Amino acid sequence: MMTPQQYEESLEKLNYCVYMLGKKISHVASNPILRPSRNAVAKTYEMAQRPEHEELMTAVSHLSGRRINRFTHVFQNSRDLVLKSKMGRLLGGHTGCCFQRCVGMDALNVMSIITYDIDRAKGSSYNPRFLKFVSQVQENDWVVDGAMTDPKGDRSLPPHQQADPDLFLHVVQERKDGIVVRGAKAHQTGPLNSHQILVMPTLTMREADKAYAVSFATPADTPGITYILGRQSCDTRKLEENAMDNGNLYYGGHEALMIFDDVFVPWERVFMKGEYEFSGPLVEKFTAYHRQSYACKVGVGDVLIGATQTIAEYNGVEKASHVKDKIVEMNHLNESLFCGTLACAYEGRAEASGTFIVDSLMANVFKHNITQYPYILARLAQDIAGGLMVTLPSEADFRSPETGPLMTKYYQGVKGVDTEHRMRMLRLIEAMTLGAQAVGYLTESMHGAGSPQAQRIMIARLVNMKAKQILAKRLCGIEPLD
């Protein structure tokens, strides 16, 4: 397994084509807006080196028998799924943000299932080809970006009826040595910290959409791939000299539009091409995995609860009954979320390929709660923090010899608490509930792995309503008590 330094060095060899704020970026690692996101991924390598976290952060490969980073593991039992949830909470607490490796981990697992199922039904050889790729990922300890979401264009139309066919990624040419693809993947989390891109179809395809039913892997710096970085609230604060205004001083995330302009993919990296009938199961199983992955938001919630308790003490209100009750509610909601991610893991089962998958119903229930509870936590944190969270002058003003002493005097809280410490905690709460870190906590909680309606559709589909009706009918005598 790579150390954080080796991870950094491995990315220096890649030549991404990146645009941000209207300009082409030549060096990702030194860019102050992007640097925190790379720090967050490096943390996954650092934690894997710690003996006390070996059980959570590492696993034994079923392919090689060697110890590997858990983010590259193919789950072999329910315990693997439980440890995945616990790992997510651990890292969420240590980074306070998205650490960008979960989508790739989930993509590796779902494709180990789907390639096996296609081979069994079609007599193809995708699964051995895919497992060879997995072995390379594990051996090199690569970060994999799972690329599923297409721009989609007019969402009332299927891919083949779009005015512009490139609004869904598709095969435009088939050659002896591979395929050529064109299109884009949107909302990509952390692609500039990735070694490999694993592409999957974004929705259930029909026969007319065969060209869009494609899955493959390609290096993140493959010629023809262009990244356009998304904006985040308060992102240009990272360009300023005063770090305190960022709240989280060390970690963050980034998202990008990933454009494929006639990108060539060799056959050995193609894992689905035209098997449209397997696109639906692929999406459903992937979303179950990825909805479980939102255990990370519980870890981020731990940070927000800790910040809220601390600012209550700095403000001198920690003993007020309503404040204590609100913090109890924050803990209640956060631990309830953790119950959900563990439940879907404990109820996991083996697929035909041998890979274990979470209980889909419970995973969807958990993720649906994720779309709600973090927003309640954020509201309670803002309530307790007070209005100074959003009216606080800049760190530059605090450092100024003219205005700094005035801020120290008028922004002091409880006696004995440094005014700067109070300001730092307020900035952290601001960042997590309104600023750059709110992307990784709130917006991702809402739309990541599917927005709320997507989970409600799956819950309606998966619940056994007939069985519930039979239970009721038996007890009131409509059906025999048998």
Looking at 102, 116, 170, 308, which residue is catalytic?
A: 102
Residue that the structure tokens 């950094």 belong to: 8
Whether pTM exceeds 0.85 = yes
Residue 458 covered by a domain: yes
Active site residue 255: yes
**Beta strands per DSSP E along 269-333:** 270-273
Give a yes or no: residue 453 inside a domain: yes
Model confidence at 429, in pLDDT bands (50, 70, 90)? very high
Catalytic residue among 296, 314, 351, 371: 296
pLDDT per residue as tens digits for the range 95-135: 999 999 999 999 999 999 999 999 999 999 999 999 999 99
Burial 334-366 (b: 16+ CB within 10 A, else e): beebbebbbbbbeebeebebebbbbbbbbbbbb
Q: Are 98 and 230 in contact (CB under 8 A)?
A: no
d(CA 217, CA 147): 10
DSSP secondary structure letter of residue 155: T
Cβ partners under 8 Å of residue 293, min gap 6: 84, 88, 102, 103, 105, 106, 449
pLDDT at site 242: 87
CA-angle at 82, arms to 457 and 114, nearest 5°: 55
Q: Tell me how far apart the alpha carbons of residues 333 and 310 are, in angstroms, rounded to a whole number.
A: 19
Average pLDDT over residues 63-70: 98
Which residue out of 251, 255, 314, 344 is catalytically annotated? 255
Q: H/E element holding 9?
A: helix 4-12
Q: Is the pLDDT of residue 460 over 90?
A: yes
The answer to whether 17 is a known catalytic residue is no
Q: Is 368 a catalytic residue?
A: no
Residues 322-336 have pLDDT tens digits of: 999 999 999 999 999
Query: What are the tens digits of pLDDT across the range 351-378?
Result: 999 999 999 999 999 999 999 999 999 9
Q: Is 351 within a domain? A: yes
Q: List for the chain the helix, strand, coil content (%; round to 5).
A: 55, 15, 30
Residue with token string 């002058």: 393
Distance from C-alpha of 117 to C-alpha of 124, rounded to nearest angstrom = 10
Give the pLDDT confidence score for residue 47 in this predicted structure.
98
Q: What is the average pLDDT score of the chain?
A: 97
339 is catalytic: no
* Res. 26 pLDDT band, cuts 50 70 90: confident
Domain count, the chain: 1
Catalytic-labelled residue, pool 290, 310, 433, 441: 290
- Catalytic entry in 212, 276, 289, 294: 294
Residue 346 among the catalytic residues = no
Q: Does residue 403 sit within a domain?
A: yes
Active site residue 476: no
- Predicted pLDDT at 451: 92
Upper half-sphere CA count for residue 352 (Cβ side, 13 Å): 11
Partners of 174 in the β-ladder: 179
Q: Among residues 44, 58, 95, 98, which one is catalytic?
A: 98
189, 202, 287, 310: the catalytic one is 189
Residue 406 placed within a domain: yes
What is the residue range of 416's domain? 291-473
344 a catalytic residue: no
Q: What is the mean pLDDT of residues 428-447?
A: 94
Active-site annotation holds for 16:
no
Provide the pLDDT for residue 482.
78
Which helix (H) or strand (E) covers residue 285, if one does?
A: helix 279-292
Percent residues over pLDDT 70 in the chain? 100
Q: How confident is the model at residue 151 (pLDDT cuts 50, 70, 90)?
A: very high
Question: From residue 408, how far is each of 145, 241, 313, 390 by CA, in Å?
Answer: 45, 20, 18, 17
CATH classification of the domain holding 379: 1.20.140.10
In a domain, 346, yes or no: yes
400 is a domain residue = yes
Residues 102, 85: contact at Cβ < 8 Å?
no
What is d(CA 333, CA 349) in angstroms, rounded to the nearest whole number? 27
